[in-house]
């Protein structure tokens, strides 16, 4: 890669967004496609993935697999040439206080948020100039009551990011840590009329604002092992 870093470099590059059928992933896939990337979106539900792909553009591909299914992930990558950039936004989260959340549900949340991206990383095929971008969450370093599995898994994802950056070089590995983001996941967890978060920006992020930072991680050829907060200023609050 040469010249001034920017999203123009994405033109004709191959982008995979695992979790690209909804929320932050869909916004990331759409923004990459806007800059000329050849985009694939993946999720478990094939109809949802197909609908998302069609909404992005006629040449957007889609695939359906469960990222915690090792064999399915291995086959997916074995059947395709290496991607230039892979983004993993996928997760299915259930939260409740430790004494109330059934252990199976807690384990499934941790598996989805941590082992899913781990398995994608294990089998991913990337070009040498490429990148992998993971997503943690503000809960990694600002945990709240009732969020144990997702907070622990998010912290684990941030540690994994740094390990992978060391292991995968020259492929770059970074992580974006959002605060609250207005997506189907958030609406399901908090309801449509939840109060605005008490952060300096006084609102949840739009998915496009997180997508922008994810693409910035992918586009910056000197960025690896970085964890980037995009949380409306949460760190300034008490």
Ligand X SMILES: NC(=O)c1ccc[n+]([C@@H]2O[C@H](COP(=O)([O-])OP(=O)(O)OC[C@H]3O[C@@H](n4cnc5c(N)ncnc54)[C@H](OP(=O)(O)O)[C@@H]3O)[C@@H](O)[C@H]2O)c1
Binding site for ligand X (CB under 6 A): 18-19, 21-25, 43-45, 48, 66-68, 89-93, 112-113, 116, 135, 137, 178, 180-181, 183-186
Residue whose CB is less far from ligand X, 3 or 191: 191
174 to 70, 84, 205, 225: CA distances (angstroms): 22, 14, 20, 5
In the complex, the smallest distance separating the C-beta of residue 50 from ligand X, rounded to whole angstroms, is: 11
The helix or strand, by DSSP H or E, that contains position 27, with its residue range, turns out to be: helix 23-34
Calculated CA dihedral for residues 217, 181, 140, 168, nearest 10 degrees: -20
> Percent helix, strand, coil in the chain (nearest 5)?
45, 20, 40
Instruction: List CB contacts of 68: < 8 A, sequence separation 6 or more.
Output: 111, 112, 115, 116, 119
Residue whose CB is less far from ligand X, 9 or 136: 136
Strands of the 61-64 sheet, one edge to the other: 61-64, 38-43, 14-18, 83-88, 126-135, 172-178, 227-230
Residue whose CB is less far from ligand X, 27 or 219: 27
In the complex, the smallest distance separating the C-beta of residue 11 from ligand X, rounded to whole angstroms, is: 25
- C-alpha to C-alpha distance for 80 and 44, rounded to whole angstroms: 18
| Position closest to ligand X via CB | 23
Q: Which phi and psi (to 5°) does residue 228 adopt?
A: -115, 120
Residue whose CB is less far from ligand X, 130 or 207: 207
> Do 154 and 179 meet the contact criterion of CB atoms below 8 Å apart?
no
Residue whose CB is less far from ligand X, 125 or 158: 158
Q: Which phi and psi (to 5°) does residue 162 adopt?
A: -70, -40
Residue whose CB is less far from ligand X, 24 or 156: 24
**Burial tier of 167 (Cβ tally within 10 Å: 0-12, 13-18, 19+):** exposed
Residue whose CB is less far from ligand X, 13 or 22: 22
């Amino acid at each position: 890669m040469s010249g001034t870093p920017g999203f123009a470099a994405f033109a004709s590059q191959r982008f995979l967004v695992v979790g690209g059928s909804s929320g932050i992933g869909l916004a990331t896939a759409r923004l990459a496609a806007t800059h000329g990337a050849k985009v694939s979106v993946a999720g478990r539900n094939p109809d949802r993935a197909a609908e998302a792909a069609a909404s992005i553009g006629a040449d957007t591909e889609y695939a359906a697999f469960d990222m915690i299914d090792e064999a399915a992930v291995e086959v997916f990558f074995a059947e395709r040439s290496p991607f230039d950039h892979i983004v993993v936004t996928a997760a299915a989260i259930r939260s409740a206080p430790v004494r109330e959340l059934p252990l199976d549900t807690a384990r499934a949340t941790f598996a989805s948020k941590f082992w899913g991206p781990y398995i994608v990383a294990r089998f991913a095929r990337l070009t040498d100039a490429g990148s992998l971008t993971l997503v943690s969450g503000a809960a990694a370093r600002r945990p709240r009551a009732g969020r144990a599995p997702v907070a622990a898994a998010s912290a684990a994802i941030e540690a994994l990011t740094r390990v992978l950056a060391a292991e995968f070089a020259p492929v770059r590995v970074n992580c974006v840590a959002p605060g609250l983001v207005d997506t189907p996941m958030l609406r399901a967890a908090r309801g449509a009329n939840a109060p605005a978060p008490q952060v300096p920006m006084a609102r949840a992020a739009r998915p496009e604002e997180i997508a922008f930072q994810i693409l910035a991680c992918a586009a910056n050829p000197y960025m690896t092992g970085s964890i980037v907060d995009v949380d409306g200023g949460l760190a300034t609050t008490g």
